[in-house]
Amino acid sequence: MIANDNTAPTRAKGRKSVEAWSGKDKGDENFPVASLLIAKPLRARVHAYYDFARNADDISDSPTLSPEEKLARLNAMEAVLTGAEETGSASATKLRRSLAESGVPAAHARELLVAFRQDVIKTRYENWAELLHYCRYSAAPVGRYVLDVHGESLDTWGPSDALCASLQVLNHLQDCAKDLRDLDRCYVPQDWLHEAGLSTDDIARPETTPALRAVFDKMLDATQDLNRTAADLPKRVKSRRLRIETAIICALANRLTVLLRHGDPLATRIKLSKLDVLTASLKGLKYAP
């Protein structure tokens, strides 16, 4: 069973802080974040990255900040991350120091900010390709950072990008009703909705219609293709601990794909159970040798 070290994200203190922590932490995620499978020294580096990402995400999702203020705060986080500014974002300062110690490039964190800025100004995605391009910045940098921290080769990036994109799309499907209601965001490809005679407003219904179910299934079919590509990741990872972790995450992605295919994300939030996590963990242990 995976156990997470669920310390709260860093919150910057003082008047000049741009951070506004929402209260969410690693326990709110679908998948393990720096679980105890990760070696302790490396776990601290993953926590630093997660804290930075969590705080940036909270800014882009804030219900009270204006778009202009959100962009200004995200820019400030990047300025602190790169050393252009010394204070204003505790999580960026923490990550900057971690990156300096590890030698891992800041690009993986700066690319995340590209996606968070996009979330501020873009609320619809025309097609699947456009959504995957968003995932390249919102999700892929996470996997690439973890791989770099472990000293893995670039050969792992392809299947890792596929896994991260899968996790991102699955999360979008889980939260499609909430994202539309709270943020007026829709990550369901608009062309697929239009082909089915639907509009974004149909996602605001209390239950999924047959036509919308077909669109969700089309997204899940494409996501399963990503899962198949991702299955090669544990085979390429050299670190034993990370190999097990990635195998577990692959199994969880496959399981959540199945759950979303048989459940209604408009009627309830589809999520993994403790049994799902246990089953995935046992599958992951096959990669221990």
In this structure, the chain runs to a length of 289
Token pair recorded at residue 126: 């025309």
User: Are 165 and 128 spatial neighbours (Cβ–Cβ below 8 Å)?
Assistant: no
Can you tell me the mean pLDDT for 210-216?
A: 98
Residue pair 31/249 in contact by the 8 Å Cβ criterion: yes
| More confident call, 185 vs 25 | 185
**CATH class for the region spanning 123-289:** mainly alpha
pLDDT tier at 30, thresholds 50, 70, 90: low
Residues 82-120 pLDDT 10s = 999 999 999 999 999 999 999 999 999 999 999 999 999
Three-state DSSP class for residue 229: helix
Average model confidence (pLDDT) across the chain? 91
Which pLDDT score is estimated for 11? 43
Tell me the pLDDT tens digit for each residue of 1-16: 233 343 444 444 443 6
Mean pLDDT score, 12-39? 63
Residue 35 has pLDDT above 90, yes or no: no
Residue-range domain boundaries for the chain: 23-121, 123-289
pTM across the whole model: 0.90
163-180 pLDDT per residue, tens: 999 999 999 999 999 999
Cα–Cα distance, 224 to 230 (Å, whole number)? 9
Rounded to an integer, the average pLDDT of 190-200 is 98
Q: Please tell me the distance from the alpha carbon of residue 189 to that of residue 193, in angstroms, as a whole number.
A: 7
